Amino acid sequence: MQSCPNCSSSEFTKAGVINERQRFKCKSCGYYFTVPKLGKQIDDYYVNKALQLYLEGLTYREIERILGVSHVSVMNWVRKYNIKRPYNSKYHPTYKILNLGELQKYFLNPENLKGAGQLVTELGDKFMLIKWDRFKD
Ligand SMILES: [Zn+2]
């Protein structure tokens, strides 16, 4: 690994993939930077996340927006790993991107936990909460 080109800190987190290059966000100064490598080999982290989101019912465009990987890449991975989602046309989850504090606040409100299934997944330095209102019709 290397260090932040702006402040030389070695504390940084993954923040998406831009043009097939891993992007990082510096934890001390907030600067975004990419490393000039990867080429075709995108981090497994994003492949797993993308396929997970796909299975949860998100569209290719939504996955592109959330993860910063192109929807074409996501389509290719879905094909490559032969991922099929169960057919359900009415099913579409809602999701929020929250930081740790917002996530904690969210779970303190019992109203947010009633009548719905939800899943929290790590996303760079934030969290994504996916929620299904499956008990409504
Ligand atoms: Zn920095």
Average pLDDT, the chain: 81
* pLDDT at 9 exceeding the cut of 60: yes
**Ligand 1 geometric centre to CA of 15 (Å):** 14
d(CA 88, CA 104): 31
Q: Residues 37-76: pLDDT tens digits?
A: 544 556 777 888 899 888 888 889 988 888 888 899 999 9
Long-range CB contact pairs, 67-72, < 8 A, 24+:
67/16, 67/17, 67/123, 68/15, 68/16, 68/17, 68/18, 68/23, 69/16, 69/17, 69/42
Determine the topology of domain 42-89 in CATH: Arc Repressor Mutant, subunit A (1.10.10)
Evaluate if pTM is beyond 0.85. no
**Ligand 1 geometric centre to CA of 3 (Å):** 8
* pLDDT at 129 exceeding the cut of 70: yes
DSSP 69-99: --HHHHHHHHHHTT--PPP-TT---EEEEE-
Structural domain spans, the chain: 1-40, 42-89, 94-132
Q: Residues 87-101: pLDDT tens digits?
A: 665 666 778 889 999
